[in-house]
Structure 1
Amino acid sequence: MGTIHKILVIGAGAMGSQIAMVAAAAGYRTAVQDVSTDMLVQAQGQLTARMQAKVAKGSLSRAEADTALGRLEFTSSLPDAAADADFVIEAATERLDIKRSIFAALDAAAPAHAILATNSSTLGSSAVASSTGRPEKVCNMHFFNPALVMKCVEVVRHPQTSQETVDTALELARSLGKSPVLINREIPGFVANRLMGALRDEALRLYADGVADFRDIDTAAKTALNHPMGPFELMDLVGLDVSYLIRQATYDQTGDPADLPHPLLKDLYDQGSFGRKTGQGWYSYDAR
């Protein structure tokens, strides 16, 4: 762990920017790289607002917030950002061709000792490791949304991942204040999403079969199982587009028709009703 001084996060979306803020708050010099300047500007503004909100609530001092934000840099140049990175976390869009291109570029630009991790929740790192000359230094390091809050990080090894890489990724997660889970072999959806997916799929079946209204299913999950929110509320929060694309990506890997997105989920996806982010999903939300 003494060799990790700079962390590079690829992708300035919600996940990437929050992972970067977690790293900066933990004391690491952190770079956020994205091909979109607009995304970088938006990420910087959102993270500054989040830190200001923590200061206003008294959970962070002004000095602590300013120091953490001061450790962040935002850039559109991957070669420059990777040149002195010790650990890279890729959080780009969930498309294999894009990820493979990114990992090839990282392999060329990052120091030989740098570990290259992907935040993908569906693609095992073996799918991108072959784009590099350092497959033993490639793994999954899957954070959960919102990364600033959620404690779990799934570290997934592929057959060529070295034990040193696994140990370093686990220790890094702990140093970020997270609770890492080691997954010893690649499996679509890993552990947490498979557990969540099983609950979601059963909830969809119950609703589709007319057993209960989705609102009542959510109530049962909260009041009988003590879940903080029901499966339909959770789909709306995560994004129905995300839920749909994860199922589709799983099907693309397995070819099992049982892994296809549920028809009700597909209908909402085709309508562009993605949940909270669009104001309409299973539930309707205030447009404010």
Structure 2
Amino acid sequence: MQPPTTITRVLVIGAGAMGSQIALTAALAGHTTIVQDIAQGRLDAAAAQLRESTDKMVKSGKLAEEQARRAHDRLEFSTDLEAVAAAADFVIEAATERLEIKKAIFARLGELAPPHAILATNSSTIGSSAVAGASGRPGQVCNLHFFNPVLVMECVEVVRHAGTSQATVDTTVELARSLGKTPVLINHEVPGFVANRLMGAVQKEALALLAGGVASMEDIDATARMALRHPMGPFELMDLVGLDVVDYIAQATYAATGNPADAPDESVAALVRAGKLGRKSGTGWYSYSR
């Protein structure tokens, strides 16, 4: 069955930072949006955090108070996957980056979601081909990869696997545009897609320059900002993304390619083992005030 050309009900699986921001973005764009998670506590925390986010946006003049109210009216939160999946037009899975968990979710979505519904994964490392078969509708499965912070970052990666239908691609691209994002289409699955491959190449060179004593971390970051006009340097960016996430992406890429050049960096791994994860932990490459 062909996917619908108009999406009215969006279901987001996972109430973490990414899932909740994706949901608010969809609600702000006018879609009825449901956030589903197995833990009521995470749903409650997400609802409170999203309310805080829109309050800040209203206070800063970036969002009208009436727009915020209407967005929250469109948001729903539920632990009942069976009930909310049954009415979804488009599902965005933003659960833990573990393949076995994602496969189980897509298997359930394949059973519960309407036949026309598109099933997308927000994964930055796992291509949708790994979960498409479990869904029973591989032609309606793709990656829709948002970037953190979702409310700010304009780009989204739409990644098709070999069996993704053109109708699914077209509808996913149009949904991304309706959310105020600029979709980039990736026609072949490759580890890291495009953005993470570009980011990884810069990070790898920065780490090599630091390890070789060529320049200090601070000067490497300053060069990236001032000479290349990057908004932040590679070490600052790693701290923002989270060093655990950087390390996980490297592990997943290396597992997929087996190329020694893609092996995780030991200096990053050492910081992760020490609990120094970047901004979210208060220290990483740099130290941050709480």
Q: What TM bracket, shorter-length normalisation?
A: over 0.9
Residue 146 of structure 1 corresponds to 149
After superposition, the C-alpha distances for 1:111-160 in whole angstroms (9 at most, x for unaligned) are 00000000000111000001011000000000000010100010000010
Residue 216 of structure 1 corresponds to 219
Residue 199 of structure 2 corresponds to 196
In 1, Cα distance between the equivalents of 2:5 and 2:162? 26
* Superposition map of 1:234-249 within 5 A: 234-249=237-252
Post-superposition shift, 1:2? 4.7
2:73 equivalent among 52, 70, 83 = 70
In 2, Cα distance between the equivalents of 1:161 and 1:216? 44
SS of residue paired to 2:62:
coil
Moved over 4 A (4+): none
In 2, Cα distance between the equivalents of 1:125 and 1:171? 19
In 1, Cα distance between the equivalents of 2:146 and 2:202? 20
1:102 equivalent among 105, 109, 118 = 105
Superposition RMSD on alpha carbons, in Å?
0.8
Identity %, equivalent residues: 63
* Superposition map of 1:77-96 within 5 A: 77-96=80-99
Post-superposition shift, 1:3? 3.3
2:24 equivalent among 18, 21, 25 = 21
In 1, Cα distance between the equivalents of 2:251 and 2:97? 11
Amino acid at match of 1:210: G
In terms of mean alpha carbon deviation, does 51-60 or 165-174 score higher? 51-60
- TM-score, normalised on structure 2? 0.97
Post-superposition shift, 1:258? 1.6
Amino acid at match of 1:122: T
2:34 equivalent among 31, 34, 37 = 31
Amino acid at match of 1:243: V
Residue 183 of structure 2 corresponds to 180
SS of residue paired to 1:85:
coil
1:271 equivalent among 255, 260, 274 = 274
Residue 47 of structure 1 corresponds to 50
Residue 162 of structure 2 corresponds to 159
In 1, Cα distance between the equivalents of 2:76 and 2:277? 31
Amino acid at match of 2:37: D
After superposition, the C-alpha distances for 1:94-125 in whole angstroms (9 at most, x for unaligned) are 10000000000111110000000000001110
Q: Is 1:124 the equivalent of 2:127?
A: yes
Q: Is 1:259 the equivalent of 2:278?
A: no
- TM-score, normalised on structure 1? 0.98
In 2, Cα distance between the equivalents of 1:280 and 1:146? 19
After superposition, the C-alpha distances for 1:176-225 in whole angstroms (9 at most, x for unaligned) are 00000000000000001111110000000000111111111001111111
| Structure 2 residue ranges without an equivalent (≥5) | none
